[in-house]
Structure 1
Amino acid sequence: MDALSNLRANPLAYAAEQHPDHEFLPLTTVIRTWEQQGVDCAAWHTGYADLTTRYGDLGLTQFLPPDRFLVAVSSTRQQAFGGFHHPNQGYRHLQMVALVTAYGDMNAEPSELAVLDLLRGYAHDCLHYGSARRYQWRDGEVVRTQYGINYRSAEGRSYSARDKEGAESTRNLGVVMEGACDREARSITRAAADTHAITEPAGLDRYAYRDVTGSLTEGDVAALAAGVPGEGPEHTLYLSSMGRYQATVNGRYGRFLDRIGGPEASGLHSTILAAMISGDMRGLCAWLDGRFGPGAFAALFMTPSYLALAS
């Protein structure tokens, strides 16, 4: 526990080490500052209220503390472009902190789209934070052996194998969990956008709007894969990362739900989230066993090497 406490002691210092070009502020400071600047953050407040209700129904009672959700709002790098798909960001379980960047040109005024992107990021990382975890101390290092519905042996063997290149669906538990987090986060963001009549903008920002609201089309993914020129090098890379994430995470998870859940896909999604939060696999295993027979979870996901004896 002392090792974990040391890793988690100073989140702002950790953020500065990871992104020395960026200035990070806690979430509540960012929202307050943006509102003082005249940015309409009503969608954030609506989304947060929705999030607490939805996640509470799933069994989550402790949410990611705002002072551990750090947002980079400016950068010394010219044409630095932020948002959900910025490199080297997201939730870090050992440090128990989320590092994110405000959407768009990081040295320009924030927009309503930046508010939606921030809501999507917080809703997403809140589920990562709230997922059950189990750690072991091995050979002088902290090893995470359970994360939600995913497992790793103390020797480092993963429960499920990586998806093959070009796979349409997924049998990888990391992708399932990532996809489940983002599906729920984008649903919350889409509802907030609808409530406040925030509509799709023109130009390249239309891709980001569709991304945060879960409405990217197959045509969008194909265009992003082919390469959409941005307003600068970092924006171009951002759009490419967006397309890759949609194809390899959200697209695969959506097809997994369709193929395994069928008409009960929504119920399967909720069951996965509840199991992630509690760490109790009985409900999810019972759901799968009831439709595919005993041992369905292992049959779907477990790689043979997981139970191999340590050499």
Structure 2
Amino acid sequence: MGVSPRLLAPNEHLAGTTGAGQLLERLAELRATTDTLAAQHPTVTFRPLPQALRRWEEDGLDMGPFRYGLAILRPRYAALGLSRAMPLDRVLLGVQSSTPGAFGGFHYPNQGYRHLQMYAVITALGPMATGQPERPDLAALDLLRAYAHDCLHYGSYRSYKLRGKEVIRSQYGVNFRRHDGRTYSAPDLAGSPTTRNLGVVMEGACDREARTIARAAARQYGIAEPADAVHRYAFRDFTGRLTVADTDDLARAEVCAAAAPSAAAEAFLRSLGGFERAIDARYERFLNEVGRDEREDLHATVLTSMITGVLTPLCKWLCQRRGPKAFEALFLSPAYFGPVRPA
């Protein structure tokens, strides 16, 4: 059966052949419309990313940092094994909101890549009242970080199968899920400074790569750190320059309130700090603990295995440095192969 390249992402696969036709039909239904995604944000006006960029550029806004980032992203991701980047028209960009004080950006609630619909939902950084970003240069960089991040999710290995009428994902990147929902690795303990959870490792790897690209674009365009607090924290976030002092400050309600122009911006800053602590900082600690002086090589190996779904390079890398069955020792939850949970 021929499969449209627009129906499946580059590294998506159907597990087995039984019910493949029904599975494809269900995926086609899920991916044919964006109505359910837009309905989750009823006060936000969304546009396909190419249309939003064209309108902004026609109005004189410089989206050069985003365009530059795309030019370095594509060969960089191709070298990791991602042959086709996420089409820009699979991105819904929220440009305006009727909610007073709405504040968009990477940490806006309930956005990101939606693998079942094969769409990314992103909002433009900053106040969303006018439909145009307050700081176009920063909005372009934040958009670049979000697209680069979600592009890796789009391009990572996935294996789908049907359970009744439900589409379930049995493998995503280097992580596995059993039929009863159990995942290969356990959640990290609350407050842990590092991670041994494969979901956090993959999320952190995507964001580290995306921030590297955004940082390169900021440097190329000479975009300096802003003076106002909310944009300053956002700049440090999407360029990967947040410090422990920053996240400690953002954990304090009075700091977020003083830095934010609205309640929504205050929530944005809290989310920004929380994401850094739970994902990015833990992943960096993991790279330092496990990769040490070879942390960049480990990072690239994680991404390659995520994209291809082949664990051999990552397992071999870990075994050579930490001994036999290092992948299992680092990540396997004892519950994964335990007794089947009652329905």
Shorter-chain TM-score: what band?
A: over 0.9
Match of 1:246 in 2: 276
Q: Which of 50, 56, 59 is the aligned partner of 1:37?
A: 59
Instruction: Check the 8 A contact 1:89/1:99 in 2, yes or no.
Output: yes
* 1:165 shift after superposition: 0.6
Match of 1:212 in 2: 238
Match of 1:130 in 2: 155
Instruction: Check the 8 A contact 1:136/1:154 in 2, yes or no.
Output: no
Q: Which of 31, 39, 46 is the aligned partner of 1:8?
A: 31
Match of 2:202 in 1: 177
Instruction: Check the 8 A contact 1:15/1:24 in 2, yes or no.
Output: no
Q: TM-score, normalised by structure 2?
A: 0.89
* 1:39 shift after superposition: 1.2
User: Within 5 A, what are the aligned runs for 1:80-229?
Assistant: 80-108=102-130, 109-110=132-133, 111-204=136-229, 205-227=231-253, 228-229=256-257
Aligned length in residues: 310
Match of 2:5 in 1: none
Match of 1:49 in 2: 71
Rounded to whole Å, the distance in 2 between the matches of 1:92 and 1:16 is 12
3-state SS of paired residue (1:134): strand
Q: Does 1:22 align with 2:22?
A: no
Instruction: Check the 8 A contact 1:44/1:115 in 2, yes or no.
Output: yes
The C-alpha deviation readout for 1:10-44, integer Å capped at 9, x for no partner, is 12x12321111111111111111111111111111
The C-alpha deviation readout for 1:91-133, integer Å capped at 9, x for no partner, is 0111111111110001243121111100000000000000000
* 1:310 shift after superposition: 2.8
Rounded to whole Å, the distance in 2 between the matches of 1:15 and 1:30 is 17
The C-alpha deviation readout for 1:258-291, integer Å capped at 9, x for no partner, is 0000000000000000000000000000000001
* 1:309 shift after superposition: 4.3
Flag structure 1 segments of 5+ consecutive residues without an equivalent: none
3-state SS of paired residue (1:202): coil
Q: Does 1:283 align with 2:313?
A: yes
Segment of structure 1 superposing worse, 135-144 or 19-28: 135-144
Rounded to whole Å, the distance in 1 between the matches of 2:36 and 2:224 is 36
Rounded to whole Å, the distance in 2 between the matches of 1:195 and 1:208 is 18
Letter in 2 for 1:8: R
Rounded to whole Å, the distance in 1 between the matches of 2:167 and 2:63 is 39
Rounded to whole Å, the distance in 1 between the matches of 2:175 and 2:129 is 39
Instruction: Check the 8 A contact 1:40/1:112 in 2, yes or no.
Output: yes
Match of 1:300 in 2: 330
Identity of aligned pairs, percent? 50
3-state SS of paired residue (2:336): helix
Q: TM-score, normalised by structure 1?
A: 0.98
Instruction: Check the 8 A contact 1:135/1:142 in 2, yes or no.
Output: yes
